[in-house]
Amino acid sequence: MNAMQLDMTAEDEAFRAQARDWLIHNRPTAPAPREGQASRTYATDWLAKCAAAGWSGLAWPKEYGGHGLSPARLLIWYEEYARARAPSPLDCTFVALNHAGPTVFARGTEAQKAFHLPRILDGRSIWCQGFSEPGAGSDLASLKTTGRIEGDHLVVNGQKIWSSYADIADYQELLIRTDPGSKRHKGLSWVICDMTLPGITVRPIRNMAGVTHFAEVFYDDVRIPLDAVVGEVNDGWSVAMTTLAFERRTAAMALQLDLSVKVEELIALARPTPGTATAERLADLRAEAAGVRAMTYRTALRDPDTPFDGSLVRLTFAELAQRIERAAMDVLGPDGLTDSHWTHGYLESYSETIAGGTAEIQRNIIAERILGLPREARL
């Protein structure tokens, strides 16, 4: 998609040149450590550098320390970000910047905003998400972790799982059941959990790519002050929907725009002979990545009141990302068995159709809310 089709203004193009220049000259060139405190330091140093130069919180409103960029400008930024091969936006700063922070500025108290938002924007605090449980993933409303009100505290007991970066996070967006008699979406609360509180145990889970990016978290009589609840007590489901809306909006943009750059890298690596099956396969992937980019533009620039387009883009992106990584393994042949970023990318790509809503759930949403097919039976 070119500038003419989108009617980018001269100011937009000047912004693009400025972003490109800054990213090329300032992005770290050393590879990111893959896990643990070293990965945290790498990510937060980069975020602090972005913040100092005015490139943090681009989508956040100005009143909360952000820049309030238009969707068009955000698309430009993320395109240049991908082109510069800047650090993955899906690092340990992702949750704080893309959904915990936005949930706090949308639903939090003035005290919560004043304390947390500046720390998120410059990388001083890292957040993780504590929504999923062993028996509550796709069906989040069946979660069982409880918070019992005792005076001005919640006493939390239970377990979360798949909490990305919980081992290095300072805070967790924690969704718990605070009304003991409640069922499903009712009686939940969205709480800011300080990860250093007594009674919290974090047990990292090693994935098949060999890294511990997510963890189980256990809560044993963890006392959280009631003023850490975001929104009203027992109204957590609506706050969680705010979180998920932010997660799906700007957060995915960066990853989707990254796909085209990845395909070009793969083509440069493969240098296929024209007319061969490999050349055709890579040409198909290039075309599909251009399709995802066009869908990303369309979703970002159109009326935000049509939210379910997000599932279409998310699903198309996730399945294409897996096909690109699969093609990379075929291009690399035996070299794909070594410890390269392609190998890790391939192993990590299996999670694309699980994290943030599985492929089946996305298909359900598309079927029911876009195509208008009959709804599946619900309890």
Pairing assessment for the beta strands 214-225 and 200-205 based on DSSP bridges: antiparallel
Name which position in 364, 366, 367, 368 contacts ligand FAD (CB under 6 A).
364
Name which position in 351, 366, 367, 368 contacts ligand FAD (CB under 6 A).
351
Residue 210 touching ligand FAD (CB under 6 A):
no
Burial class of 230 by CB neighbour count within 10 A (0 to 12, 13 to 18, 19+): buried
**Residues paired with 215 in a beta bridge:** 163, 204
Residue 358 touching ligand FAD (CB under 6 A):
yes
Shortest distance, CB of residue 61 to ligand FAD, whole angstroms? Answer: 25
Query: In degrees, to the nearest 5, what angle opens at C-alpha 30 toward C-alphas 28 and 31?
Result: 110
Size of the site for ligand FAD (CB under 6 A): 19
Burial class of 258 by CB neighbour count within 10 A (0 to 12, 13 to 18, 19+): buried
Residue 312 touching ligand FAD (CB under 6 A):
no
How far from 273 is each of 88, 279, 280, CA to CA, in Å?
31, 6, 10
Which lies closer to ligand FAD via its Cβ, residue 52 or residue 355?
A: 355
- Smallest CA-to-CA distance from 109 within 171, 52, 191, 181 is with 191
Name which position in 13, 45, 221, 360 contacts ligand FAD (CB under 6 A).
360
Which lies closer to ligand FAD via its Cβ, residue 146 or residue 364?
A: 364
- Residues marked active site are found at 247
Which lies closer to ligand FAD via its Cβ, residue 295 or residue 361?
A: 361
Site string for ligand FAD, 94-133 (x = CB under 6 A): ----------------------------------xxxxx-
Amino acid identity of residue 187, one-letter, is: G
Residue 164 touching ligand FAD (CB under 6 A):
yes
Residue 266 touching ligand FAD (CB under 6 A):
no
CA–CA distance, 349 with 325 (Å, rounded to integer): 7
Which lies closer to ligand FAD via its Cβ, residue 64 or residue 165?
A: 165
Pairing assessment for the beta strands 127-130 and 171-177 based on DSSP bridges: parallel
**Residues paired with 188 in a beta bridge:** 177, 235
Which residues would be at the binding site for ligand FAD (CB under 6 A)? 128-132, 137-138, 162-164, 214, 351, 354-355, 358, 360-361, 364, 376
